[in-house]
């Protein structure tokens, strides 16, 4: 099992990135949440990874945080949830918001994620609820005061923007690609979405 990759980021082709480790290029598939937080090409990065071995392929998935990898590993243990759907879930919702949905048994919010229907949302809640106790992730607080900046707020706004773009018909990979051209520091999710749509209109 390859559990960690540290090297130079040499290519971004969402949902894949290429990392050079001592002359060997590792192709890694990553969720939009990780892609949006990557540094510029040429920078050194460290990713937590999970290797999936199938009969027809070996897929190395990479995550910017250990929490994301932990949640990914929980997701792929759920019946009918494969790696592709798990990466889509992580692309459309932050780990904190996902934990909140499971804790609150908010199946309606989960069905907004790409590829997640009502039955899958209910299955996620039932099968993951107790397992989340072993993860050090606090549920996101809904309607919390925003008078002061808090750690992770930019990350939350990014995830909200991805979810909104997906709901507008963009694929998670397309949404992530758009956000790579948007300045997100200190911006609200609404401002990020507007900027991303401007980028899409210009590119079109």
Domains held by the chain: number: 3
- The domain that holds 194 is classified in CATH as 1.10.8.10
Domain that holds residue 8: 4-63
Mean pLDDT over 1-5 rounds to: 90
Mean pLDDT over 73-96 rounds to: 90
- The domain that holds 123 is classified in CATH as 1.10.150.20
Which H helix or E strand runs over 25?
Answer: strand 24-29
Query: Of 102, 134, 166, which residue constitutes the final position of a domain?
Result: 134
CA 115 centroid distance within chain: 14
Mean pLDDT over 134-161 rounds to: 53
| Contact indicator for 53, 8 with CB cutoff of 8 Å | no
Summary mean pLDDT of the chain: 82
Q: Which residue has the tokens 């499971």?
A: 102
What distances in angstroms separate CA 119 from CA 1, 29, 107, 108, 172, one per listed residue? Answer: 32, 27, 9, 11, 21
Indicate whether 199 belongs to any domain.
yes
- The domain that holds 42 is classified in CATH as 2.40.50.140
Query: Of 134, 164, 180, which residue constitutes the final position of a domain?
Result: 134
Each residue of 90-118: pLDDT tens digit? Answer: 988 888 889 999 999 999 999 988 789 99
| Closest-CA residue to 3 (of 72, 52, 50) | 50
CA distance 144 to 155: 16
Q: Which residues contact 184 (CB under 8 A, 6 or more apart)?
A: 36, 154, 157, 158, 161, 192
């Amino acid at each position: 099992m390859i559990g960690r990759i540290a090297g130079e980021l040499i290519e971004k082709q969402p949902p894949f990135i290429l990392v050079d480790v001592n002359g060997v290029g590792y192709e890694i598939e990553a969720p939009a949440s990780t892609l949006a937080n990557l540094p510029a090409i040429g920078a050194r990065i460290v990713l937590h990874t999970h290797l999936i071995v199938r009969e027809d392929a070996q897929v190395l998935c990479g995550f910017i945080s250990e929490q994301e990898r932990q949640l990914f590993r929980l997701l792929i243990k759920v019946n009918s949830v494969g790696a592709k759907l798990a990466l889509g879930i992580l692309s459309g919702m932050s780990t904190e918001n996902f934990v909140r949905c499971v804790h609150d048994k908010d199946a309606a919010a989960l069905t907004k994620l790409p590829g997640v229907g009502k039955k899958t949302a209910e299955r996620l809640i039932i099968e993951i609820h107790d397992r989340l106790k072993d993860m050090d992730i606090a549920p996101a607080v809904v309607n919390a005061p925003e008078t002061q900046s808090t750690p992770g707020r930019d990350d939350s706004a990014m995830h909200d923007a991805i979810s909104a773009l997906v709901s507008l018909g963009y694929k998670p990979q397309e949404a992530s690609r758009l956000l790579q051209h948007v300045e997100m520091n200190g911006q609200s999710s609404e401002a990020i979405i507007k900027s991303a749509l401007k980028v899409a209109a210009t590119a079109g």
